[in-house]
Amino acid sequence: MPTFELNLSDDVYAEFQQLAEQEFVSEEQAAEDLIASGIEAYNVSVVDDEPRDEMLDGAENNMFDTAEDPGSLEDDRL
């Protein structure tokens, strides 16, 4: 298993020790689980090669859902 060294501030290390004592069996397990969950949360995969504006997509979808007779065609008849 690879190992590495990490320098933490005293405050962060104290929080880590407290969390490790309360939630994990050992500091090693705490470090492994917290790093793995941090990597998972940070890892973002791009699903669409051409991203679109979500607000624009929503507006396009709602534009046709809410309009009953957008041009008032019935009123234009003679």
**Domain interval for residue 20:** 8-33
Q: 48 by DSSP, 3-state: which?
A: coil
Identify whether 23 is part of a domain: yes
* pLDDT score at 42: 82
Place of tokens 């500091």: 27
Identify whether 14 is part of a domain: yes
* pLDDT score at 3: 85
* pLDDT score at 24: 92
* pLDDT score at 9: 95
State how far the Cα of 76 lies from the Cα of 78, in Å rounded to an integer.
6
- State how many domains the chain has: 1
* pLDDT score at 31: 92
Amino acid identity, position 48? D
pLDDT tens string, the chain, 78 residues long: the values are 788 898 999 999 999 999 999 999 999 999 999 999 988 888 766 565 565 566 656 655 555 555 555 555 565 555
As a whole number of Å, the end-to-end CA separation of the chain is 84
